[in-house]
């Protein structure tokens, strides 16, 4: 009879799980309507079991209420357990008999223990394990048997002796099985809700973005899906786009399309530029960002399309303007070079006048060398692709090759340039070139006082602190006595100091064997390195 009663209650509870799933799917667990309906359903199942009980003695009945009510507390929580227990208590009091008190106590302790384990489960998922559920079943039915002592006389002991062992063996196991069904159902419902939420998120991310999106198969280029923005951009409906392949909207060859999709699918590259064809035949420049989505059986490409037609048009116009600017700058450098060459020639003609006093001749010669150094810089810039940068090491090599002859010391052993090629901004190169030229011209002007085999060395490099250093070396000490190296103030020293200040640099004169002078400076992004000419040019531009 106990087994039949147990089977009957288990069947009712399994039927309840179906209704519970529907309620849980449609209502949130903290919704008052959910709590009320769930509590009433557990109460109805309890009452249904109590209507077909095992009658032990007049007024003393046994059924599966302990299983149902502890399940109500464990699954639904305090309020569900309260509703179901209240219905059970009222019905048991209505039935009356000698077992009313014991029956009510069983109802109360079953619901309370279910609620206690519900709270424990919310704190720690370990209370969902079968062993802990079995502990709940043991506790509920141990207290149930103890409550039978409230029966009159020796009836309670008689009940415990007759059905106690069956209750302790079967009822906890039945409770564990029922609770596992409910727990599994709750987990499935939560998983489904989570999946539905994520699908909504991802669908929203796909649909509600301003940028066109296409889902494409990398194997054959088939368009699998398109968002609303893609419909607006291309002009085809989603249904039409999903019947098309990438080649139908892309202007490049099918082989190139396959190559790009393979590259994207292998995560080697995710950015491509192309031209896409719209429904009305218009061609638009687009940037395509493709990411790989790994499905169970294949990969697909999630492609975001950005219209860059206007950007490309602006780039084309800018490139045209830059080419015009480069042409203009080249023409400027060409004209400046020619004008400087003309000035240099005029100075050379003037120097051929033998009636010029020696001091004036030397001054004119130094001036001619300065003009020639500037002309050399403009000539190198004119030959460059980048008109804002100068290979300064190359300039030093040209200067070292031409300056001795210009200074009239052709039998000079020469000037050696050490260091790798270094590019400098023209605003640094101009003052620095004049500084080096001024130092060399003054030293070579005293050449008659030294050995004809003397050699100067220019060492140009950049150190680890990002400082540029030009060192003027005299390995044999032939130039150590040059007047420029000492504290005698003259035009050359003033000019070198002024030019050094323009590039925020520093020059040290070291009249000792091995090292004659050292120039140090650091390139910054500010205007400190600009010449006065550049400052004046900017002021004119600002006024315009």
Give the residue-averaged pLDDT of 500-507. Answer: 88
Question: Are 510 and 517 contacting, i.e. CB atoms less than 8 angstroms apart?
Answer: yes
Name the pLDDT band for 426 (thresholds 50, 70, 90): confident
In the beta sheet, which residues pair with residue 508?
518
pLDDT tens string 278-328: 999 999 999 999 888 888 778 888 899 999 999 888 888 888 777 777 667
> Is the pLDDT reported for residue 528 higher than 60?
no
Give the residue-averaged pLDDT of 519-534. Answer: 56
CA 87 to CA 89: how far, in whole Å?
Answer: 6
> Is the pLDDT reported for residue 360 higher than 80?
no
Residue 74 is predicted with a pLDDT of 92
CA 535 to CA 544: how far, in whole Å?
Answer: 14
Q: Is 445 left (phi over 0), alpha (psi -120 to 50) or beta?
A: alpha
Question: Are 79 and 42 contacting, i.e. CB atoms less than 8 angstroms apart?
Answer: no
> Is the pLDDT reported for residue 493 higher than 90?
no
Question: Are 28 and 193 contacting, i.e. CB atoms less than 8 angstroms apart?
Answer: no
Joined together, the tokens standing for residue 482 give 């040059």
CA 537 to CA 533: how far, in whole Å?
Answer: 6
Question: Are 274 and 252 contacting, i.e. CB atoms less than 8 angstroms apart?
Answer: yes
Lowest mean per-residue pLDDT among 88-97, 361-370, 455-464, 466-475: 361-370
Name the pLDDT band for 26 (thresholds 50, 70, 90): low
Give the range with max mean pLDDT: 107-111, 172-176, 360-364, 390-394: 107-111
Name the pLDDT band for 374 (thresholds 50, 70, 90): confident
Lowest mean per-residue pLDDT among 332-336, 447-451, 501-505: 447-451
Residue 29 is predicted with a pLDDT of 59
CA 73 to CA 105: how far, in whole Å?
Answer: 15
Residue 8 is predicted with a pLDDT of 59
Indicate the average pLDDT of the chain.
80
CA 241 to CA 234: how far, in whole Å?
Answer: 9
Q: Which residue has the higher pLDDT, 166 or 110?
A: 110
Question: Are 482 and 516 contacting, i.e. CB atoms less than 8 angstroms apart?
Answer: yes
Joined together, the tokens standing for residue 93 give 């009091």
Q: Which residue has the higher pLDDT, 511 or 209?
A: 209
- What share of the chain has pLDDT > 90, as a percent? 21
CA 212 to CA 203: how far, in whole Å?
Answer: 14
Name the pLDDT band for 489 (thresholds 50, 70, 90): low
35: Cα separation from own chain's centroid? 45
Joined together, the tokens standing for residue 380 give 């190198």
CA 271 to CA 292: how far, in whole Å?
Answer: 12
Q: Name the residue with tokens 């638009």.
A: 284
Longest dimension (CA), the chain: 153
Classify residue 63 by burial, with Cβ atoms within 10 Å: 0-12, 13-18, 19+. buried
In the beta sheet, which residues pair with residue 302?
215, 291
In the beta sheet, which residues pair with residue 456?
415, 474
Element (H, E) at 400: helix 392-406
Name the pLDDT band for 142 (thresholds 50, 70, 90): very high
* Pick from 455, 416, 427: nearest CA to 530: 427
CA 268 to CA 262: how far, in whole Å?
Answer: 9
CA 375 to CA 372: how far, in whole Å?
Answer: 5
Q: What is the dihedral of CA 353, 354, 360, 366, to 10 degrees?
A: 70
Residue 542 is predicted with a pLDDT of 42
Joined together, the tokens standing for residue 248 give 């139908």
The beta-strand segments (E) located in 373-455 are 389-391, 415-418, 423-425
Give the range with max mean pLDDT: 231-235, 335-339, 513-517: 231-235
Question: Are 512 and 521 contacting, i.e. CB atoms less than 8 angstroms apart?
Answer: no
Element (H, E) at 166: helix 155-207
Q: How many CB atoms lie within 10 A of CB 5?
A: 18
For 254-306, the DSSP string reads: HHHHHHHHHHHHTTS--EEEEEEE-TTS-EEEEEEEEEEEE-SS-EEEEEEEE
Name the pLDDT band for 537 (thresholds 50, 70, 90): very low
In angstroms, the first-to-last Cα distance of the chain is: 107
Lowest mean per-residue pLDDT among 433-447, 477-491, 524-538: 524-538
């Amino acid at each position: 009879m106990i087994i039949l009663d147990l089977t009957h209650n288990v069947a009712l509870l399994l039927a309840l799980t179906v209704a519970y799933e529907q309620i849980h799917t449609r209502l949130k667990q903290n919704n008052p309507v959910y709590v009320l309906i769930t509590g009433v359903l557990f109460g109805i199942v309890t009452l249904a079991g109590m209507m077909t009980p095992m009658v032990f003695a007049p007024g003393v009945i046994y059924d599966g209420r302990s299983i149902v009510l502890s399940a109500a507390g464990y699954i639904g929580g305090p309020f569900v357990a309260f509703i179901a227990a209240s219905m059970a208590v009222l019905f048991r009091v209505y039935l009356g008999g000698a077992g009313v008190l014991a029956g009510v106590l069983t109802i109360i302790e079953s619901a309370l223990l279910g609620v206690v384990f519900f709270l424990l489960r919310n704190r720690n998922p370990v209370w969902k394990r079968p062993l802990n559920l079995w502990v709940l079943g043991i506790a509920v039915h141990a207290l149930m048997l103890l409550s039978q002592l409230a029966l009159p006389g020796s009836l309670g002991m008689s009940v415990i002796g007759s059905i106690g062992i069956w209750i302790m063996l079967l009822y906890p196991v039945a409770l564990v099985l029922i609770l596992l069904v409910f727990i599994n159902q709750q987990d499935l419902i939560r998983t489904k809700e989570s999946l539905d939420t994520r699908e909504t998120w991802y669908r929203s991310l796909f649909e509600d973005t301003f940028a066109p999106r296409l889902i494409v198969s990398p194997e054959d280029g088939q368009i699998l899906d398109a968002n609303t923005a893609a419909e607006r951009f291309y002009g085809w409906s989603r249904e039409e786009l999903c019947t098309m392949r990438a080649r139908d909207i892309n202007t490049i060859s099918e082989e190139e399309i396959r190559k790009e999709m393979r590259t994207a699918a292998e995560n080697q590259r995710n950015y491509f530029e192309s031209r896409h064809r719209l429904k009305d035949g218009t061609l638009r420049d687009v940037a395509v960002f493709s990411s790989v989505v790994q499905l169970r059986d294949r990969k697909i490409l999630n492609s975001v399309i950005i219209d860059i037609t206007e950007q490309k048009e602006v780039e084309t116009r800018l490139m045209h303007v830059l080419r015009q600017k480069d042409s203009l700058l080249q023409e400027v450098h060409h004209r400046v070079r020619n004008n400087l060459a003309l000035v240099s020639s005029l100075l050379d003609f003037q120097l051929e006048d033998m009636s010029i006093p020696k001091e004036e001749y030397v001054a004119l010669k130094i001036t001619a060398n300065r003009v020639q150094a500037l002309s050399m810089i403009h000539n190198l810039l004119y030959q460059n692709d980048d008109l804002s940068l100068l290979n300064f090491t190359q300039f030093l090599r040209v200067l070292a090759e031409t300056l001795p002859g210009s200074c009239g010391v052709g039998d000079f052993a020469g000037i050696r340039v050490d260091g790798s090629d270094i590019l400098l901004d023209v605003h640094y190169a101009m003052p620095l070139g004049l500084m080096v030229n001024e130092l060399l011209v003054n030293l070579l002007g005293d050449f008659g006082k030294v050995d004809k085999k003397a050699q100067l060395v220019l060492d140009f490099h950049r150190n680890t602190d990002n400082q540029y250093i030009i060192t003027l070396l005299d390995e044999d000490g032939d130039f150590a006595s040059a007047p420029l190296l000492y504290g005698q103030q003259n035009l050359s020293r003033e000019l070198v100091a002024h030019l050094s200040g323009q590039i925020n640099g520093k020059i040290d004169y070291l009249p000792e064997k091995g090292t004659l002078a050292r120039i140090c400076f650091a390139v910054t992004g500010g205007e400190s390195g600009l010449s006065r000419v550049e400052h004046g040019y900017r002021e004119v531009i600002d006024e315009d």
